[in-house]
C-alpha cells in the first residue's frame, strides 16, 4: 500500500542535481506521529563543498538530528540539496550552519542539531555544530558518534 504525498515533487521521479544550494528545493511531508516526541537522524558521510578561496574540494561527515513537529524532512530532496554543495564555494562554518538553518526554517522542528565533522584543510580539522529549539524531556538522542580527527596516529 502506498501513501500519496501530493506536495512532494522529487520523490519517485528522475531529478537532476541542482546547480547550487539556492536552486535546490527541500521538501517536507506530514509527520504521521506529530503527537509523539521522537528523534530522527540523517547522516551524510561523504558531503563535499568547495573552498571559496582556493576552489579545492572540502569533505565532511554531516549528522543531522531533529525532533519533528508537524513536518518531516523528505530524504530525497535532502540528498539532492546536499549534493548541490559539490560546486558551491563556502567555508565550513557557513555550509554547516546554512544547512541547519534552511532545514529548520522548512520543517520547524521542536529541536534540530547539525554536526559538521570536516576533514583537515591546511592541516587543521574544523568541526562545526549548530542547534535550535529545546530537546523535549525524555527524548533519547544518542551521541553523534563521529570520532574527532586523529590523523595517522
CA pair distance 38, 85, nearest whole angstrom = 29
Are 21 and 106 spatial neighbours (Cβ–Cβ below 8 Å)? Answer: no
The active-site residue out of 51, 65, 95, 127 is 51
Is 95 catalytic? The answer is no
Residue 96 corresponds to which cell in the numbers above? 554547516
**How far are the Cα atoms of 29, 57, 98, 139 from residue 122, in angstroms, in the given order?**
41, 12, 23, 39
Among residues 7, 22, 58, 94, which one is catalytic? 58
Residues marked active site are found at: 51, 58
Amino acid at each position: 500500500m502506498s501513501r500519496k504525498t501530493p506536495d512532494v515533487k522529487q520523490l519517485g521521479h528522475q531529478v537532476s542535481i541542482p546547480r547550487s544550494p539556492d536552486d535546490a528545493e527541500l521538501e517536507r511531508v506530514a509527520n504521521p506521529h506529530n503527537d509523539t516526541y521522537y528523534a530522527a537522524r540523517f547522516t551524510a558521510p561523504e558531503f563535499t563543498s568547495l573552498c571559496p578561496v582556493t576552489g579545492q574540494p572540502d569533505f565532511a561527515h554531516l549528522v543531522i538530528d531533529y525532533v519533528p513537529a508537524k513536518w518531516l524532512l523528505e530524504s530525497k530532496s535532502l540528498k539532492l540539496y546536499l549534493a548541490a554543495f559539490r560546486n558551491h564555494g563556502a567555508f565550513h562554518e557557513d555550509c554547516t550552519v546554512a544547512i541547519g538553518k534552511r532545514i529548520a526554517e522548512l520543517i520547524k522542528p521542536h529541536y534540530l542539531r547539525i554536526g559538521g565533522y570536516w576533514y583537515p584543510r591546511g592541516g587543521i580539522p574544523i568541526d562545526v555544530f549548530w542547534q535550535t529549539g529545546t530537546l523535549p524531556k525524555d527524548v533519547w538522542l544518542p551521541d553523534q558518534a563521529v570520532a574527532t580527527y586523529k590523523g595517522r596516529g
